[in-house]
Amino acid sequence: MSTAETASLLPKVKAWLLARKPEAGDIEMDLDLIENRLIDSLGFLEFVFFLEELGGREIKFDGDSLHKFRSLRAINENIFGAQ
C-alpha cells in the first residue's frame, strides 16, 4: 500500500474511534489508545474487523499483537504497512 493510500485510511480510523468516544476531542498520532480507553477489551474485536476491512486484509495475530494497535502511528505502520 502506498504512503498516500495509508494516509487516507487514518482519518477513517480516527473518525471510527471518535464516533464511539466523542469526548476524546482529537487523537494525536502517538496517543496510547488503550491507556486512554479509546479502545477497550469489549470493543476490540469490532475494531479489528473494522481495520481488516479498511486495510483489505486479515490481521495476523501472534503471541503479543496488542502493540500493533497501541496508537494511530502503530496502526499505520503495523496494520496498513506504511513505511
Partner 1 sequence: MDTVANTDFTRTLNRLVELSIDGYYNPYTELQWEEALDDEQWWMPASLLTLYDTKFIDEFDEPQLMKLSKWESIHFYSLNIHGIRELLIEVTKRIHSPGYEGASEFFHHFIGEENEHMWFFAKFCLKYGSKIYPDKSMKMNVAELESDIQTFLVFARILIFEEIVDYFNIRIGKDESLHPVIRQVNNVHHQDESRHVAFGRQFVAQLHRDLIAAYGHARLTEIEGYLRRYIDASLQSFYNPAVYRDAGIEDEYRLRSALLKEPGRTRQHEKIMGRTTDFLIKNGILSEENSTL
Judged by the rule CB under 8 A, the positions of this chain that interact with partner 1 are: 34, 39-46, 48-49, 52-53, 58-61, 66
Residues with Cβ within 8 Å of 74's Cβ and at least 6 positions away in sequence, in order, are 67, 68
Q: Which three cell numbers stand for residue 63?
A: 503471541
Q: Is 80 exposed, middle or buried (0-12, 13-18, 19+ CB in 10 A)?
A: buried
